[in-house]
Amino acid sequence: MELVEYSVENAVALIRLNRPPVNALSAQLSHDLLEAFTMAADPAVRAVVVTGQPHFAAGADIKGFQKAYDGANKGGGLAGVLAGTVRALEKLAKPTFAAVHGYALGGGLELAMGADFRYMSDDASVGQPEIKLGIIPGAGGTQRLPRIVGFQKAKELNYSGRHIGAVEALAIGLADKVFPVDHLLPATIAEAEQYAEGPTVALGAARMAMNEGWGKPIDEAMAVEAQAFDDCFWTDDAKEGVAAFIEKRKAEFRGR
């Protein structure tokens, strides 16, 4: 991977975008992220943190759009590639965090929305500015943003293309926590480590049930939940959790 740094410590995978100066999202960066998310599917990895500094990702590489207009590939293909990459992050069966420094715009915000939690630095600036280019988001901005902040607020953000700061993002639920710049990544990793010590199979099942059941008719959604419940009920972690409760001791979950 040329544009992504990948490391694992204390069962937490740290995935760092590395395309200076602003981590503009190219097809290559999207492919590298997809490779990193594939590596993070390893059961030994029990939580994931995605980040980039000094900016998380300041949107797509707009120069690539111009090249697409001159070529045969209508639309350039970048949106489809990025959409698949974000979906891979969303489908990881473990807790995931986006530690957002600086700009997370367009595809950068769409990437962050693929994570369970978005922790932002107090200098963060996020938004879906695609409308100002005469286009719309193509990797989930019209679909995940309404799920997170509500339909009307998502409509306003997508229609206006305006950037919002960390304080407003926290107020509307787009950010889960806000930290000073220097504290953001250590605090995010520390929280990811706490989740990594927990019942990560059950956490993954809850993640899948909520993500895949959302928006379905209630009977279909309940079927998704029932399957997820059954998948984790027979695991070693579930047996350990029940035994620990009965024996009045702290459970020792191992992620299996």
Q: Which residues are catalytic?
A: 110, 130
Q: What's the rounded Cα separation, in Å, for the pair 18 and 2? A: 8
Beta-carbon count within 10 A of 44 CB: 9
Q: What is the spatial order of strands in the sheet that 125-127 belongs to?
A: 103-105, 125-127, 164-165
DSSP assigned state of 91: T
User: In the Cβ-directed half-sphere of 29, how many Cα atoms lie within 13 Å?
Assistant: 26
Instruction: Tell me the DSSP string of 127-180.
Output: E-GGGGGT---SSSTTTHHHHHH-HHHHHHHHHH---EEHHHHHHTTS-SEEE-
Three-state DSSP state, 25: strand
Three-state DSSP state, 76: coil
CB of 11 closer than 8 Å to CB of 46: yes
Per the document, the length of the chain is 256
